[in-house]
Amino acid sequence: MLIGPESSGKSTLCEKLAIHYDVPFVKEYARTYLGHNGSAYLHEDLLHITKGQLLEEKKALERIDLNAKPTSKPLLFLDTDLYVIKIWSELVFNRCDASILNAIAVNNNSLYLLCEPDIPWVEDPLREYPDCAIRYLHYLHYKDAMVNQHIGWVNINGNFEARFNKAVEAVEALFQ
């Protein structure tokens, strides 16, 4: 599971990991939702995004179960999860709906890869905060969430090769 602020390399790393392990990955549903409904959004839209994200994860898990081989590693990479929606909700609207918090409470992820925003900003019409200082402040919110939950996490930083190597090392540690 990859988390972190905007333009911190989550999508790129998620796809590279999925290719490396030859497993599926789930894209960030918010991009699909906002692509269909416009980039302006309200607090209520985050509930729709949450439902869509969970549905995409469920579909991917069902595909893994159908195609599972006895010797394969049960991996699914997520480009985002509900912590991202929670933190985004708190940063933008200064609140988070209880249904999102309740869904986080039953989270069954095995590992978080926290992407640090130490790579160049990439312009995107759905991104809102290009300022480096704000991106780093957002990163600290994600780091706080990781420190205050029970699932293992690894900080991912450096150039793209270093990020990939750190991520692979963390994933491999799950299977030792």
Query: What pLDDT digit, counting tens, does each position of 1-51 carry?
Result: 999 999 999 999 999 999 999 988 999 999 999 999 988 999 999 999 999
Least confident of 102-106, 125-129, 169-173: 125-129
Tell me what pLDDT residue 73 has.
60
Tell me what pLDDT residue 133 has.
92
Maximum separation of any 2 CA atoms in the chain, in Å: 47
Q: What CATH number does residue 92 fall under?
A: 3.40.50.300
Q: How confident is the model at residue 175 (pLDDT cuts 50, 70, 90)?
A: confident
The H-assigned helical ranges of 22-131 are 29-37, 43-67, 82-93, 98-105
Q: Has residue 70 got a pLDDT over 60? A: no
More confident residue, 130 or 133: 133
Q: How confident is the model at residue 71 (pLDDT cuts 50, 70, 90)?
A: very low
Angstrom distance (rounded) from CA 165 to CA 81: 22
- Rg (Cα) of the chain, in Å, rounded? 16
Mean pLDDT of 142-150: 95
Considering its fold, how many domains does the chain have in total?
1
φ and ψ at residue 95, rounded to 5 degrees: -165, 165
More confident residue, 116 or 129: 116
Whose CA is closest to 154, among 108, 115, 118?
115
| Percent residues over pLDDT 70 in the chain | 95
Tell me what pLDDT residue 151 has.
93
Hey, is 113 helix, strand or coil? strand
Mean pLDDT of 79-100: 95
Structure tokens at 138: 């957002």
Angstrom distance (rounded) from CA 121 to CA 155: 18
- Domain range for 62 is 2-174
